[in-house]
A and B are shown apart, each in its own frame.
Chain A
């Protein structure tokens, strides 16, 4: 069925307001979108890693989640979810379930996914639990105050990679986690963010959730505090991430790579960088090389992606 924005937004919300996430935060949009992608009537268990979403959406005695929800720690959301899924399998086998269709969703930030939760995620994907892992990737440890993570891009100003007279921010490039998840041989992996009317995000979330076996969806989810932008800039930053190919939209189904969006004219990386305070120092005289390096990295990754997808594979599966 083709995506109908109005219809999707008129469905009952499963992630409701009253939570304490910041204005202009991407993480809450991921939470809302992934639960909206559940078919009506299906039940779900949300397993959440420690982070902004956890502390802002389930502050005792209040919860924003209409579905069952469990948080146990920072580094183990996938393993916790594996336990829930295992329980479902055995209780169903023993005739102790209610007959409902259950979906198991994990939600973690990049800290809980790329870094401290990586082992648990890798193990759960390898074991093949029927779960969908959503990473809200805001490219640093935001909940503790903007420390660098394995996902923080090179040159970003973070509180553990501060800019100074001897530093231009983070020294390393961002870990390519989506590709690492693909290398696990899981049936579905995708990269998306908030563009247009959320069609890309919604369709990928739905496809991931309803693919049997493990699935991984990496969602670029900007953070106004860490990236230093004003709330209304969120959609524009996401659009520019895609148009500059900093964050290409693609999905990998059963090992086959599909590019979902080809910019008509690939914009220079500065267009993305200049929207955010975390990259401000890159535009200072003498730091021109940082922008050149950033552009080179984006170009290399983009060419690599086109190679994987096949130059003329944009038709994808739409």
Chain B
């Protein structure tokens, strides 16, 4: 039986961890993810979990500890944000190429420079090519549900890749919402036991991990990893289907909101989807055919599926909560625009970079984007492709 409770996003993820009772938790604090290891420490102190809780001296060591533990045949988890994820960067690649299905709760916060503790997606986007599966949440319920699905996806034998379960710092991590929590027993049954094919300890034969990989072999290993990421697409849908059968909540690569007849649409990630949905309803009431795609899975990127979902749309704004510093748009824009290339009749596409370092994005801002798309339809002119929205001075705004 599910039960309803009031939890912050951080507590929801920590609670999911408690229910799963992972083997090893490598813990290091960083705002806004700090509460996750704190809640978990109390579970350890209360004897509510059987986990080895390793309080490391840095995020580099937390990822290294997870790598050692996972290679030893244990289920290893950690949590971090921003600079913490950046400090792990080297080890993120090692975890992925070593094919170790570690689970990382990423509470998205902007990368330092200058220091700022608020939300955007620059931390996780910086790790987008590291070989980690990335799943994002709109709200606390999704953060909880995504975490429950994480290990089954990552540990799928033909996937065996680490997974990042992302949520928006403060916006969902610290906001308290009413969510449904599942039974401990049901969660344990759904997640199952971790039974890796090989491990450093507890087996008849020894295992060697992390070779010096020479030119005649290394490329093959990289291609195997790339294939595993392709396989993750199927695993994500399989696990989501089983999750729906078990707990009744439906998930996919993305959520299509009022997309069936949409002429103007947004593609975005995370908590802004809630704001955008309210705006879609307002616009629909005024007769505007607005729609929204909320991307849940960024890695692997659901290229064909996104293209199909946008095939009938006339104008689309891809909203990046991350600056790409590419001089031509953010990372989500590059992916979505590329996905649409093979469509016979492509929508006009623009990129709106918004919400950097916690800059608020109210319904009125989202409405400006839809209105801009309507103008593009009226004039037939796409105008600037790469726009920043939400700056303090109105003169700097294109929209």
Which residues of A are interface residues toward B (Cβ below 8 A)? 43, 45, 47, 54-55, 58-61, 63, 65-73, 75-76, 79-91, 93-94, 96-98, 102, 119-120, 122-124, 126-127
Separation of A69 and B98 alpha carbons in the complex (Å): 13
Interface residue total, chain B, C-beta cutoff 8 A: 46
Instruction: Flag whether B71 is at the interface (Cβ < 8 A).
Output: yes
Separation of A94 and B71 alpha carbons in the complex (Å): 17
Instruction: Flag whether B339 is at the interface (Cβ < 8 A).
Output: no
Contact of B72 (CB < 8 Å), options: A45, A75, A122, A123: A45
With CB as the reference atom, state the residue of chain B lying closest to A67.
Answer: B206
Q: Which of B48-88 contact A (CB under 8 A)?
A: 50-52, 54-58, 60-62, 64-74, 76
Instruction: Flag whether B164 is at the interface (Cβ < 8 A).
Output: no
Further 17 A-B residue pairs, CB within 8 A, beyond A82-B56, A84-B71:
A45-B72, A45-B200, A59-B212, A60-B211, A69-B209, A70-B200, A70-B210, A72-B98, A76-B61, A82-B65, A83-B65, A86-B68, A87-B74, A88-B201, A90-B74, A91-B23, A97-B202
Is the CB–CB distance between B69 and A86 below 8 Å? yes
Is the CB–CB distance between A55 and B65 below 8 Å? no
Separation of A126 and B64 alpha carbons in the complex (Å): 16
7 interchain pairs, CB-CB under 8 A: A60-B212, A71-B209, A72-B64, A87-B52, A90-B24, A120-B58, A120-B60
Is the CB–CB distance between A84 and B61 below 8 Å? no
Contact of A87 (CB < 8 Å), options: B55, B68, B207, B210: B68
Separation of A122 and B57 alpha carbons in the complex (Å): 9
> Nearest chain A CB to B89's CB is how many angstroms away?
11
Separation of A58 and B50 alpha carbons in the complex (Å): 35
> Nearest chain B CB to A98's CB is how many angstroms away?
5
Is the CB–CB distance between A120 and B64 below 8 Å? yes
> Nearest chain A CB to B47's CB is how many angstroms away?
12
Scoring A54, A87, A122 by chain B CB atoms within 10 A of each residue's CB, the highest score goes to A87
- Interface 0/1 of B201-226, CB less than 8 Å to A: 11110111111111001100000000
Contact of B50 (CB < 8 Å), options: A61, A88, A93, A126: A93
With CB as the reference atom, state the residue of chain A lying closest to B28.
Answer: A123
Residues of B within 8 A of A84 (CB): 68-69, 71-72, 200-201
Is the CB–CB distance between B57 and A72 below 8 Å? no
Is the CB–CB distance between A73 and B64 below 8 Å? yes
Instruction: Flag whether B26 is at the interface (Cβ < 8 A).
Output: yes
Residues of B within 8 A of A98 (CB): 201-204
Contact of B206 (CB < 8 Å), options: A66, A97, A120: A66
- A83-B54, A90-B74, A98-B202 given; A70·B68 CB < 8 A: yes
Separation of A195 and B27 alpha carbons in the complex (Å): 43
Residues of A within 8 A of B58 (CB): 119-120, 123
Instruction: Flag whether B94 is at the interface (Cβ < 8 A).
Output: yes
Listed from nearest, the 7 A-B pairs whose CB atoms lie closest are: A83-B68, A123-B57, A87-B72, A87-B74, A79-B61, A83-B65, A76-B64
> Nearest chain B CB to A86's CB is how many angstroms away?
4
With CB as the reference atom, state the residue of chain A lying closest to B60.
Answer: A76
Is the CB–CB distance between B60 and A75 below 8 Å? yes
Residues of B within 8 A of A75 (CB): 60
Separation of A83 and B60 alpha carbons in the complex (Å): 12
Separation of A83 and B55 alpha carbons in the complex (Å): 11
Separation of A68 and B51 alpha carbons in the complex (Å): 23
Instruction: Flag whether B319 is at the interface (Cβ < 8 A).
Output: no
Contact of B23 (CB < 8 Å), options: A65, A66, A90, A102: A90
Residues of A within 8 A of B202 (CB): 91, 96-98
With CB as the reference atom, state the residue of chain B lying closest to A60.
Answer: B211
Is the CB–CB distance between A91 and B64 below 8 Å? no
Separation of A68 and B206 alpha carbons in the complex (Å): 5
Residues of A within 8 A of B91 (CB): 72-73, 76
Contact of B210 (CB < 8 Å), options: A45, A72, A85, A89: A72
With CB as the reference atom, state the residue of chain B lying closest to A57.
Answer: B212
> Nearest chain B CB to A71's CB is how many angstroms away?
4
Contact of A83 (CB < 8 Å), options: B57, B64, B94, B206: B64
> Nearest chain A CB to B93's CB is how many angstroms away?
10
> Nearest chain B CB to A84's CB is how many angstroms away?
4
Contact of B24 (CB < 8 Å), options: A45, A76, A83, A120: A83
Residues of B within 8 A of A102 (CB): 201
Separation of A76 and B94 alpha carbons in the complex (Å): 12
Instruction: Flag whether B360 is at the interface (Cβ < 8 A).
Output: no
Separation of A71 and B209 alpha carbons in the complex (Å): 6
Residues of B within 8 A of A90 (CB): 23-24, 50-52, 74
Instruction: Flag whether B244 is at the interface (Cβ < 8 A).
Output: no
Instruction: Flag whether B227 is at the interface (Cβ < 8 A).
Output: no
Residues of B within 8 A of A47 (CB): 68
Residues of A within 8 A of B67 (CB): 70, 72, 80, 83
Is the CB–CB distance between B73 and A87 below 8 Å? yes
Contact of B71 (CB < 8 Å), options: A43, A60, A70, A79: A70
Instruction: Flag whether B282 is at the interface (Cβ < 8 A).
Output: no
Separation of A119 and B24 alpha carbons in the complex (Å): 21
Separation of A126 and B57 alpha carbons in the complex (Å): 10
Residues of A within 8 A of B211 (CB): 58-61, 63, 71
Is the CB–CB distance between A73 and B90 below 8 Å? yes
Contact of B208 (CB < 8 Å), options: A65, A73, A87: A65
Is the CB–CB distance between B54 and A94 below 8 Å? no
Residues of B within 8 A of A82 (CB): 54, 56, 61, 64-65, 68
Is the CB–CB distance between A54 and B23 below 8 Å? no
> Nearest chain B CB to A82's CB is how many angstroms away?
5
Separation of A63 and B202 alpha carbons in the complex (Å): 20
Separation of A85 and B98 alpha carbons in the complex (Å): 19
Separation of A193 and B146 alpha carbons in the complex (Å): 53
> Nearest chain A CB to B324's CB is how many angstroms away?
28
